[in-house]
Copies of this chain bind each other. A is one copy, B any other.
Amino acid sequence: MATIYEVADKAGVSLSTVSRVLNGKTTVNPALKAKVEEAMLALNYRPNSIARSLATSRSDSVGILVSELNSPFFGDLMQAVELTLRAADKHVIITVGHNNLETEQDAVEFLIGRNCDAIIMHAEAMSDEYLKTLNSSRLPISLVNRQVDGVGEGCIVLDNEKGGYLATQHLISLGHKNIGYISGPSDKCDANQRLAGHKRALKEAGIAFTPNLVFEGSYTEEDGKAGLLELLSGDSPFSALVCANDWMASGAMSCARDLGMNLPQDLSIVGFDDAVFAHHVFPRLTTVSNPISDMAAMSARHILNVVYGYKDEVQTLFQPSLIIRESTMAYEA
């Protein structure tokens, strides 16, 4: 790989001149500039971004931290961030936290070591403290799906409470009165908010909340199944079920079918997230949309503002909306 020296040599100028045409910040004599460009072409010169990064302690790339690489949710998140940043000529460095504290911290240190200009993350295990400290160091962060005081506009969140409300309210409007709820893990803030929304809808409709009718899962397909089984074995009957995400809804659906139930006649089910497969399941799943792509893009935009001097509006709170498909129907006595 040709270096800037060789280019300077070939063009008969100093390396600072080459550097200048490279960065285009200051003006360079057109004639020299042409020579330099010619030399770069001839030598097939590619600037070494490592060297540049060492010299500037910038890198024109932002880190992303996701929990998993192979989930539709994180797929959408990564895709949106990458697209937004690519449009601004920034690169993206993806790391994985595997939902584990140590791995998440490793990932962040990797990114710091790589001179990332900022980090966009979906951190599940890290403490608020750590995140706050991180953000107040010279490395801006943006948190998707998590609210941490002290990170301010960097937090891009969904109104989960509203989503939970929407799901349950939909069922109530369909005439259901006994509604089961399969929740996410209670140490996840989004899970609690969704559940809170569920309770609010119940309360608003004058329906008493029945603790027996909620099962706490961990967002997996298996837990959807386990949850349904558990709820069914209890002594509180129900004609509808809301699941705090689509995976659990899918698990509950196939379990219900295995049990010989007819969907949605015997049980109305609503999910949450509108994952890609929501319209693949049968019956197609009524769910609450989670505009993760928009949120991720916004997160990227915030970073663009903060570190690269852009001046776009940023919206920090996103609204979910109900997507009615075929997995829910009116209550039949």
Question: Which residues from chain A sit less than 8 Å from chain B, CB to CB?
Answer: 1, 46-51, 53-54, 59, 68-72, 75-76, 78-79, 82, 91-96, 109-110, 112-115, 250, 276-277, 280-282
Contact = CB atoms under 8 A, between A and B. Distances in A.
B46 A54 contact: no
Nearest to A81: B69
A110 to B, nearest CB: 6
14 contacts: A1-B112, A50-B50, A50-B114, A68-B75, A68-B79, A69-B79, A69-B82, A91-B110, A92-B94, A93-B94, A277-B280, A280-B280, A280-B281, A281-B281
A96 B78 CA distance: 10
| This chain: copies in complex | 2
Contacts of A49: 110, 113-114
B79 A46 contact: no
A53 B48 CA distance: 11
Contacts of A250: 280
Nearest to A94: B94
Report which residue of A76, A78, A115 has the largest number of chain B beta carbons within 10 angstroms of its beta carbon. A78
Given A70-B79, A281-B281, 13 more contacts: A49-B113, A50-B54, A50-B113, A68-B75, A68-B79, A69-B75, A69-B82, A70-B78, A72-B75, A91-B95, A92-B94, A277-B277, A282-B282
